Structure 1
């Protein structure tokens, strides 16, 4: 965004879009949002304009307006610092570069801190840092969500190191709000750079950016002067989104509604009304499918994926992106949603119905790191975590080892084991190896009726054991990978029924059954304290694989085989003996049968 376009827009003289040159005179979208209706170019806004667009009419009340900057260093360059401040006040009508207060967004009361680039480039001096810190403290004290809108060139040089330490102060205040379970939404606009970007603005539970915004630590001019090269593509909202540092890029016209929906989801809480659908035992008369048949159903190309099911069970789902470290992996999706009026965090593998970017649900390290970031968000906001598992295993191609796939799996397993909120894992398709269990350390582990869960794929096991992958159907039986097998082994807690013939036959009804199972499990876990949840989760997994579990399964198999043998023997005797002689034959020669 050029200085010319910024100036023209501020003075109300711009009637042509600087990007597409469309005439904007009388354009309603431009007049309301300062967005080009033809190419969606986003002009800069003042803090007052942003507040008007975000909050419900008449709901905003400013606080700490009296705080004003002094001149602690008696600083002077081309102009004395005091004179610069006076000029900025006259030109903007503001006392400082940030406005803080309390308002409502779609009915949700929030604390707001909105920076204004017109006031000394939105730079953070002592007063800006103080007002932002007070806003976080007010949010934590009143248990209100906080929304910050950044537009800044960085630290205020005229205040020297006193400006620098505001990074530490505001970040510490944001962290204290985090620890108080206060939701924090950070909105990055054009430009967001320097000390603002590297402090509280990057602490947001959820970080949103406007399209085309310049975002980065060092501005392009600083990069050119100090590093000697141009910052060509690394300083855009689109770049930081692609590299996992932003959850969503949101058009200004949708920003208020997006924030309103997020606030609703993170605060949603209602009484659960469960319906019993989970099968916790296998009746003797249950028809038994061959394991290989179940494998084919679990892998059916039309079987509903994680996103197919999430969109049905939580239509208000807001997907969040990025691991805040390297990138965003579309093989794992996650975000916040609503289940029966209860705010939840939803995470799952996404096969993508052939989309190569999804890699059939085989995730990279950044996918599991994104999952951990969302689990941490759930813990801070006290939201239950629901994971949907559908992967043949982790991605083993380029980038996986280099970026630490084993470390990511290990950290994910460890984090899930100690999450202080209810956790429910549902294996909805194929649960393969470490890629699956990394999202399955849960208080309740459920399986869809025709899902599978195994240490290795049948083909992989057959190739290792027999050097012949074609023997996979045979090996599948031995792996005990079906839902009934795993319920008997006490690896899962229940089975979620599917429509007749499989979930792909009726995805809508499959989602209804899944929703009922999740609500049933949430109701069971609702009143359990965080300490007890963690303690019982550990005990649950601690028991798995102990000798008694396997012993019971082996004894049950031996009893079944012995019963079958006895039945076949008696049946054969009856066929060979004359009518009425069965009892004599059975009792002949037995002690105590003679007078």
Structure 2
């Protein structure tokens, strides 16, 4: 054995003297447990047993679709290593016990019809340790996926590098990580699945390179195994080495029970491969908004209404197959920003948005921490690699300004998000769905198309904050709201947004289903305009779009034109009212022999 022995999990099951098989976790009788027989999972407590690689493949892929490759590659003994047993003897025993030639099984298969490359480790073979042959087979699997342009799925169950092969084993970490990176650069989706145990060199190399990282419940996962930590660091209790701990700290997208794993993977594969033709409606989606009869402050109250649909409310209606992804891969997972893979108009997309949470304190009313924006950027990068459009839903009073935000770099996170969105080589659409406040909102708003719901607001600062600064009196927020020009009609007139999405009468909260249908209509139309535009043109035009915003001549011209339009409308309405008050026939121009109704030229102008 190599390093993997110290990470060996508990026995998968216990056998009583009377032949009854028991769950090692809760002691339940597994003899008639159908879930155990099928998945190796105790139905009573959910404990996941260790299962062989070929059983994992059978559970994951379509029947009779797996075709193994590189089965002939076998380990040699480059160091002529011997401890209690010669290395060659250990390898031969592992082959006899498992029926495998090495600790990893690789091949091609289909999952719900989607072609994939799979590489599955088997802990029974020398603890799933990675020697030269395991590294070579995994590398060849990544290269096959990149060559064929099909997704790759790896399932890790390993104690680390195989020390019997010395440095030749260790350098497999570099080789497999480099192969995973080349697959990324070839725009190949990579799903990494971590099982019990995943430690050492495999965890610190290709297994952590997944675009999407899933883990089985309660799996032991970590760089150094518990026994190594105990012996070298003197710590008896290790709490950090679990799937749940890593999920809470932003390193895993989802913890998925084994019976749900195939469906979860299949949904991801379907979304990332969706490239359907977008059918656009010929009817106008977003008529140009006129002056609103509602006061700005009244619209602010509607935008903040506690029952107004949030990002997740819209996602559930416009993309029911949404797969939420979690974590910034650095510090944590911020629930104030949600994101993942979805489907809009037969196209796979990445959806990211602020989530207010309808009073859930963990969401902080949509005020995101640095890790929330870093999660958003990770998903933007994923979209760029997989060539998926990005849709952002903006709904926040601003970034979180409390304890921890500054020390973890909130300003840098906002800055990086603004810059990252400006150069994404995929179509981007932002929709302000509620309250768009300050830099926390704009950090998800640098897009090719910017939409705004009819009763949303978009502001440099909340009206209360502006009133407190300008007048030292937050109660004057209603009058300041008018001056800030924060309504959808105002933002459209200023060129800050490209279109205004209608809402149900009274606001989106009065009919969330209809509001979602209107938003979906607008998003579909915008996607239809953008999906066939080249990446170079998208980035170039996006920069030009924001480069023009706020230029004095453009602003002045737009404001003057709007004022003239509004003044002309008032004059027309006034004249019309005067004519309505005159007796019939009066107010008409006399006929001077010219064309009927034509006003003769004035002979004298009095200044």
Q: Shorter-chain TM-score: what band?
A: over 0.9
1:425 aligns with 430
The CA distance in 1 between the partners of 2:407 and 2:284, in whole Å, is: 44
| 1:277–1:517 Cα contact (<8 Å) kept | no
Does 2:489 align with 1:489?
no
2:40 aligns with 34
2:450 aligns with 445
2:593 aligns with none
Give the C-alpha shift of residue 593 in structure 1. Answer: 5.5
Write the deviation string for residues 14-64 of structure 1: whole angstroms up to 9, x where unpaired. 711122111111111110001010110000011011011111111100000
User: Secondary structure in 1 aligned to 2:213?
Assistant: strand
The CA distance in 1 between the partners of 2:577 and 2:187, in whole Å, is: 71
After superposition, the Cα gap between the structure-2 partners of 1:191 and 1:277, relative to the gap in structure 1 and judged at 3 Å, is: farther
Write the deviation string for residues 70-116 of structure 1: whole angstroms up to 9, x where unpaired. 01111111111111111111111111000000011111110000000
The CA distance in 2 between the partners of 1:398 and 1:545, in whole Å, is: 34
The CA distance in 2 between the partners of 1:572 and 1:277, in whole Å, is: 32
The CA distance in 1 between the partners of 2:317 and 2:9, in whole Å, is: 46
Correspondence 1:200-349 to 2 at 5 A: 200-275=206-281, 276-279=283-286, 281-283=288-290, 287-349=292-354
Correspondence 1:436-475 to 2 at 5 A: 436-475=441-480
Give the C-alpha shift of residue 277 in structure 1. Answer: 4.8
Correspondence 1:58-207 to 2 at 5 A: 58-207=64-213
After superposition, the Cα gap between the structure-2 partners of 1:21 and 1:101, relative to the gap in structure 1 and judged at 3 Å, is: same
Does 2:554 align with 1:520?
no
After superposition, the Cα gap between the structure-2 partners of 1:13 and 1:184, relative to the gap in structure 1 and judged at 3 Å, is: farther
Does 2:31 align with 1:25?
yes
Q: TM-score, normalised by structure 1?
A: 0.94
The CA distance in 1 between the partners of 2:499 and 2:326, in whole Å, is: 31
Give the C-alpha shift of residue 429 in structure 1. Answer: 0.3
The CA distance in 2 between the partners of 1:82 and 1:566, in whole Å, is: 97
The CA distance in 2 between the partners of 1:556 and 1:97, in whole Å, is: 72
The CA distance in 1 between the partners of 2:566 and 2:514, in whole Å, is: 38
Write the deviation string for residues 499-549 of structure 1: whole angstroms up to 9, x where unpaired. 111100100011111111111000001210000000000000000000122
User: Secondary structure in 1 aligned to 2:522?
Assistant: helix
After superposition, the Cα gap between the structure-2 partners of 1:154 and 1:574, relative to the gap in structure 1 and judged at 3 Å, is: closer
The CA distance in 1 between the partners of 2:372 and 2:256, in whole Å, is: 22
Give the C-alpha shift of residue 591 in structure 1. Answer: 8.0
Give the C-alpha shift of residue 213 in structure 1. Answer: 0.2
User: Secondary structure in 2 aligned to 1:445?
Assistant: strand
Give the C-alpha shift of residue 160 in structure 1. Answer: 0.7
The CA distance in 1 between the partners of 2:334 and 2:10, in whole Å, is: 38
The CA distance in 1 between the partners of 2:439 and 2:557, in whole Å, is: 26
2:536 aligns with 531
After superposition, the Cα gap between the structure-2 partners of 1:129 and 1:572, relative to the gap in structure 1 and judged at 3 Å, is: closer
User: Secondary structure in 1 aligned to 2:21?
Assistant: coil
Give the C-alpha shift of residue 393 in structure 1. Answer: 0.2
The CA distance in 2 between the partners of 1:571 and 1:46, in whole Å, is: 85
The CA distance in 2 between the partners of 1:571 and 1:386, in whole Å, is: 46
Q: Which runs of 5+ in 1 are unaligned?
A: 584-589
| 1:432–1:453 Cα contact (<8 Å) kept | yes
Give the C-alpha shift of residue 426 in structure 1. Answer: 0.3
User: Secondary structure in 2 aligned to 1:409?
Assistant: helix
The CA distance in 2 between the partners of 1:39 and 1:572, in whole Å, is: 78
Moved more, 84-93 or 557-566: 557-566
After superposition, the Cα gap between the structure-2 partners of 1:530 and 1:14, relative to the gap in structure 1 and judged at 3 Å, is: farther
Q: Which runs of 5+ in 2 are unaligned?
A: 1-6, 590-601
After superposition, the Cα gap between the structure-2 partners of 1:494 and 1:72, relative to the gap in structure 1 and judged at 3 Å, is: same
Moved more, 46-55 or 14-23: 14-23
Give the C-alpha shift of residue 580 in structure 1. Answer: 8.3
After superposition, the Cα gap between the structure-2 partners of 1:568 and 1:201, relative to the gap in structure 1 and judged at 3 Å, is: closer
The CA distance in 2 between the partners of 1:4 and 1:592, in whole Å, is: 106
Give the C-alpha shift of residue 314 in structure 1. Answer: 0.3
After superposition, the Cα gap between the structure-2 partners of 1:367 and 1:293, relative to the gap in structure 1 and judged at 3 Å, is: same
After superposition, the Cα gap between the structure-2 partners of 1:558 and 1:384, relative to the gap in structure 1 and judged at 3 Å, is: closer
1:586 aligns with none
Give the C-alpha shift of residue 582 in structure 1. Answer: 12
After superposition, the Cα gap between the structure-2 partners of 1:568 and 1:260, relative to the gap in structure 1 and judged at 3 Å, is: closer
User: Secondary structure in 2 aligned to 1:223?
Assistant: helix
| 1:212–1:238 Cα contact (<8 Å) kept | yes
After superposition, the Cα gap between the structure-2 partners of 1:522 and 1:79, relative to the gap in structure 1 and judged at 3 Å, is: same
Write the deviation string for residues 251-308 of structure 1: whole angstroms up to 9, x where unpaired. 000000100111000001211112245325234xx64211011101100110000000
| 2:370–2:409 Cα contact (<8 Å) kept | yes
| 1:490–1:549 Cα contact (<8 Å) kept | no
After superposition, the Cα gap between the structure-2 partners of 1:573 and 1:172, relative to the gap in structure 1 and judged at 3 Å, is: closer
Give the C-alpha shift of residue 581 in structure 1. Answer: 11
After superposition, the Cα gap between the structure-2 partners of 1:228 and 1:281, relative to the gap in structure 1 and judged at 3 Å, is: same
Give the C-alpha shift of residue 191 in structure 1. Answer: 0.2
User: Secondary structure in 1 aligned to 2:342?
Assistant: strand
User: Secondary structure in 2 aligned to 1:294?
Assistant: helix
Does 2:604 align with 1:592?
yes
The CA distance in 1 between the partners of 2:152 and 2:373, in whole Å, is: 27
User: Secondary structure in 2 aligned to 1:6?
Assistant: coil
The CA distance in 2 between the partners of 1:207 and 1:213, in whole Å, is: 13
Write the deviation string for residues 439-494 of structure 1: whole angstroms up to 9, x where unpaired. 01000000011000000000000000000000000000000000110111111000
1:587 aligns with none
Does 2:372 align with 1:367?
yes
The CA distance in 2 between the partners of 1:534 and 1:164, in whole Å, is: 41
After superposition, the Cα gap between the structure-2 partners of 1:570 and 1:591, relative to the gap in structure 1 and judged at 3 Å, is: farther
Q: Which of these residues, 52, 55, 63, is aligned with residue 57 of structure 1?
A: 63
The CA distance in 2 between the partners of 1:413 and 1:542, in whole Å, is: 13
Q: TM-score, normalised by structure 2?
A: 0.92
Give the C-alpha shift of residue 3 in structure 1. Answer: 5.0
